[in-house]
Amino acid sequence: MRFAVDVGGTFSDLVVEDDEGRFHGFKAPTTPGDPATGVLAAVARAAESFGTDTATLLGRGSVFIHATTRALNAILTGTTAKTAFLTTAGHPDILLFREGGRTDLFDYTRPFPDPYVPRSLTFEVPERIWSDGRVLKLLDTAALDRIIDRLAALEVEAVGVSLLWSIINPAHEIAVGKVLAERLPNVAVTLSHQLNPILREYRRASSTCIDASLKPIMGPYLTDLDARLRGAGFEGRILGVTSQGGVVETGMLAAAPIHAINSGPSLAPLAGRAYARADSGRDTAIVTDSGGTSFDVSFVRRGEIPWTADSWIGPPFRGHLVGFPSVEVKWIGAGGGSIARVDAGGLLAVGPESAGAEPGPACYGRGGTRPTVTDAALALGYLDPGHFLGGRLALDVAAARAAIDRDVAEPLNVTTEDAAAAMLSLATERMVAAIEDITINRGVDPSQAVLVGGGGSAGFTAVAIARRLGCAEVVIPSTGATLSAAGALLSTLSAEFRTLAPQRSDRFDAAAVTTVLADLAARAAAFAAGPGAGSLGHSVRFSVEARYVQQAWDIETELADGAAIDAAGVARLVDAFHRTHEELFAVSDPDSAVEFLTWSARVACRLRPEADDAPALASGTPQPASRRRAYFAGHGWCDAAVRAFGDLAEPVTGPAIVESAFTTVVVPPGATARGSDSGGIVITPGMAR
């Protein structure tokens, strides 16, 4: 038996894989002040469902996989550790200058973004190493001691050390790290050459400081979660989800917590790809994950999980660059908990502010008074007030309607129903805009993809989104309400190893690169034999960051020949780069030399027999078919058929509502829903009248 939990902003999602490989989904409200409590509450609900107690259920488990937004939330809310930045003398503005770019070239009213570490906590270390590794200026140990005295006086909790060209010669950075460990043993330290040995100075320094600032937060959190799971009866292996869409030992994640920033969202594309293939036979999919707080979207093209080298925390150029490639997921503040309001100009707005888990939407009866998307869905008759979360939470229809009337309907002088429908319509438009940003704005036609709707609130808007984009089908997986947690059970134990070794295609040293690749292969093999021991097999993928000479940005290009390269292999690699460049930018320059920089090896160890299949969620007791009054814009109140997931042997034509314990899917007039082989539903959107 295996467990996977995704701690979101509103709910903690748990998926349990039983001994027969069937998935079981559970939800419990997230407890922001103590996330482990919400996790254990979800486990307790699972134990109740299995007819046992928490200790017995956990005792049957072999693996517990954990995804969390705690690292990201700490950065966004400014609650990371007090962090100092040590850099080479003369270069204190690396984090301030960052990488160029503006979202609005002519808006000079917005202040310049603050650096991740303020100048008051930035210290210049007297030392200098050349780009070829020669020492220009020896490390001034006396000056370093004075800096450390200052760090102690300021009571810093973490230190990021990023010295110039430490990726070529790390001697000074190692020496600084040794002194810090001796003199400030309780202060977390991250050395850039160990964490992220890449060429770009800002990215390396940014990742180093972000990682250092998270260590005092994530270390105790992961340790506490581990202890509480052990105390509750779990004796198996505890793994954490990374931004790269894989899992690692929690000890490795605590040692480099920067990899946990996009922990949960990174797994939705993995699960979405599996269900798109299983239920629609398509390899190209728009994968959405709509929860209570955010709407995450990614685009799987020809079966390839999307990756980005430019992962920002916050808006591009104004936020902070993570400096590591990660699964590309775009998110906006739109979900079931998104709050609606009418601004001073009389315009309706929905999100990004969210009611979250506490106090939640007005209909929850937990102190929330402002109208949310969930309140709108309830007012329109889409939600069964007595069957929400499998009947664990009774919804207050009167409270939802009162909140909508006060904050939306009355200011706009419309009916409650029209106000609620407008709220859902505006939320839909924001979601469509996010999808268009990663498809149309990149020259990709979204109508050629299947839309996979994940997340508890996806069913409110999935068909409306598909109609706006022209998608032929919508897939709502049986595990859709817990999509990221299900993705965790489909993921692999993985790691990436990187080495900077610049080469040019017109004077390529194949022997030197083969040595680099051999070292990367050995490190990958050691991982497979160590943390990956007992896996069901592993694979290693080699790639390199490349660019045309004097270009500013790099493109990841895969090495088809693996861990060795010869003259013919160089030619194939150059051709692969040209093809990748043309696919991304619609242009290539075959006559130009190509520069290769950072070489990497990604090792993936399989933890289940079929790491990319689409298991069905085990069905509970189905609700009897019924009918319910529901409101649809342009149609008014309709008599809608109500069906249960797993009970769609015959297609149903809208207006209809398909329910499970954790999600509700709206099938509007003109759309048709049918059951899928994996236990979910496939919807043909049709046309809105």
pLDDT in tens, 525-535: 999 999 999 88
Task: Name the percent of the chain lying above pLDDT 90.
Answer: 61
Q: Which residue has the higher pLDDT, 621 or 599?
A: 599
The pLDDT value given to residue 685: 93
Question: What's the pLDDT score for residue 318?
Answer: 83
d(CA 179, CA 22): 52
pLDDT at 610 over 70: no
Which tokens belong to 339?
Answer: 């709050």
pLDDT tens for 552-569 read: 888 999 998 777 788 888
Q: Residue 498: which of 154, 256, 155 has the closest Cα?
A: 256
- Which one, of 502, 432, 504, lies nearest residue 466 by Cα? 432
Q: 277 and 614 in contact (C-beta within 8 Å)?
A: yes
Sorted by sequence, the CB contacts under 8 Å of residue 254 that are 6+ apart come out as: 215, 218, 219, 222, 223
Residue 262 has pLDDT above 90, yes or no: no
| Range of weakest confidence among 172-176, 404-408, 605-609 | 605-609
Examine the pLDDT at 630 and tell me if it is beyond 70: yes
Q: What is the pTM of this model?
A: 0.86
Mean of pLDDT values over 229-236: 94
From CA 325, how far away is CA 312, in angstroms rounded? 10
Of 637, 660, 629, 619, the closest CA to residue 387 belongs to 660
Cβ-contact 604, 539 below 8 angstroms: yes
Q: Quick one: average pLDDT of 626-653? A: 89
Residues in Cβ contact with 441 at an 8 Å cutoff, skipping those fewer than 6 apart:
none
Q: What ranges in 305-438 are assigned the alpha helix state H?
A: 373-379, 397-404, 410-412, 416-438
Mean residue pLDDT of the chain comes to: 90
Query: Please, what is the end-to-end C-alpha distance for the chain in angstroms?
Result: 48
The mean per-residue pLDDT over the stretch 321-326 comes to: 89
Strands 83-88 and 158-162: parallel
Q: How far is it, in rounded angstroms, from Cα 177 to Cα 161?
A: 8
Q: Using CA atoms, how far apart are residues 614 and 682, in angstroms rounded to an integer?
A: 14
Residue 624 banded pLDDT, cuts 50, 70, 90:
low
Q: Tell me how far apart the 2 most distant CA atoms of the chain are, in Å.
A: 81
Q: What is the pLDDT of residues 423-446, one digit of tens each?
A: 999 999 999 999 999 899 888 899
How many of the other CB atoms lie within 10 Å of CB of 145?
Answer: 12
Better-predicted residue by pLDDT, 11 or 399? 399
pLDDT at 620: 54
pLDDT tens readout for residues 360-371? 899 998 888 999
Q: Which of 88-92, 95-99, 306-310 has the lowest mean pLDDT?
A: 306-310
CA dist., res. 661 & res. 645, Å (int): 9
Question: Which position has the higher pLDDT, 619 or 72?
Answer: 72
pLDDT band at 636 (very low <50, low <70, confident <90, very high): very high
Average pLDDT for 652-656: 91
Comparing 654 with 685, the larger pLDDT belongs to: 685
458-469 vs 416-438: helix crossing angle, rounded to 10: 60
**Cβ atoms of 460 and 382 closer than 8 Å:** yes
Lowest mean pLDDT among 106-110, 536-540, 652-656: 106-110
Most confident of 75-89, 147-161, 245-259, 426-440: 147-161
- pLDDT higher than threshold 80 for residue 32: no
pLDDT band at 478 (very low <50, low <70, confident <90, very high): confident
